[in-house]
Amino acid sequence: MRVGVTGASGFVGGAVCRAAVREGWTVSAFGRRPAVEPGHVGGAPYTRWDLLGDRPEPPEVDAVIHCAGSVTDWGPPEEIWAANVDGTRNAAAAFPRARFVHVSTASVYDPFRPTVMAAEDTAPADRYVNAYGASKAAAERVLERAVVLRPHAVYGRGDTTLLPRVLGAVRKGRLLAVGDGRQRISLTSVDNLVQACLLAAAGPVGHGVFNVADAEPVVLDDALRAILKERGVDAEPYYLPLALVEPLAVAAEAAFRLLRRADPPRLTRYAVGHLAVERTLDITAARDRLGYRPAATSFADAARW
């Protein structure tokens, strides 16, 4: 099996490369960074490729796993759209004869209402809170035939987003969160996402859209307490009502735009709404059609992330 992986210098792309190499596949790794440590991509040959720039001479591959893109919920919208839509279009065009596996996101579901065991056909939505969700939904639409994977809240060793954001909310023995803590959440371990990527690249399904998550949803309070315990952080979750925090996030975003701040505010509408209400995914299609067999949510070894 010959596979190309975009975004190989990142969290998910690197994990996909390492797993594919372990499977004995021939892997070609592509990323925007000038170079990466060989171990990050499992020793696979690495080529620098900005998907918005000049294209290197692509090798012949059987499948492409497209992990590249912008994952920020704050920044110039035109840059986010270019990375996620134009970058996806360019990656697919570079490998016209290969199966294309696109790592999308559950943020394509309606952010203004709870996501309750969402099926794949309930996205895209008519509205989004930022360019990230809107651009990822648009990226799905530019693909003619692809396997689209929609994970939610990806975590695991090497995570640069979810765990740092959770721990960054700890203040004086309190982990500040939004909601009441009883909301159910589908999380996606990077190992489960990698499994889905390899199944999509080599399995019998050539196209389709699939939610990807851990075996069962978890209660937010249980997940937060497990993270704190594994990290050895002496803190308790403290919940603030969404009706109070959401207007603060709107005001913070407006102030940062007015001041032309490049760094993100501590509160954004996306971050507030991401875990404040139920966000659960129906993964029946991935189980039945891809042969996906996810493990349960676990933060074991979180202290080593």
pLDDT in tens, 199-233: 999 989 999 999 999 999 999 999 999 999 999 99
What total of structural domains would you count in the chain?
Answer: 1
135: in domain: yes
- Is the backbone peptide bond immediately before 124 cis, with ω within 30 degrees of 0? yes
Rounded-to-integer distance, Cα 214 and Cα 297, Å: 6
273: in domain: yes
CATH code for the domain of 18: 3.40.50.720
Helix 242-258 vs helix 269-276: angle between axes, to the nearest 10 degrees? 160
Which stretches in the chain have pLDDT values below 50? none
Q: CA separation (Å) from 93 to 24, 147, 155, 198, 208?
A: 26, 15, 30, 21, 19
Q: Are strands 115-118 and 279-281 parallel, antiparallel or unpaired?
A: parallel
Rounded-to-integer distance, Cα 10 and Cα 31, Å: 8
30: in domain: yes
Residue 162: its pLDDT value, please? 84
Average pLDDT value for the chain: 94
pLDDT in tens, 256-282: 888 888 888 877 888 888 889 999 999
Domain extent for 103: 2-300
305: in domain: no
pTM (predicted TM-score): 0.95
Rounded-to-integer distance, Cα 134 and Cα 142, Å: 13
Residue 303: its pLDDT value, please? 65
- The separation between CA 3 and the C-alpha centre of its own chain, rounded to angstroms, equals 20
Rounded-to-integer distance, Cα 25 and Cα 23, Å: 6
204: in domain: yes
Residue 256: its pLDDT value, please? 87
What is the strand order of the sheet 218-219 is part of? 115-118, 279-281, 184-185, 218-219
Residue 263: its pLDDT value, please? 80
Rounded-to-integer distance, Cα 186 and Cα 188, Å: 7
Residue 305: its pLDDT value, please? 66
Q: Are strands 184-185 and 174-178 parallel, antiparallel or unpaired?
A: unpaired
Residue 260: its pLDDT value, please? 84
Helix (H/G/I), strand (E/B), else coil: 118: strand
User: Which positions ≥6 away from 255 have C-beta within 8 Å?
Assistant: 265
241: in domain: yes
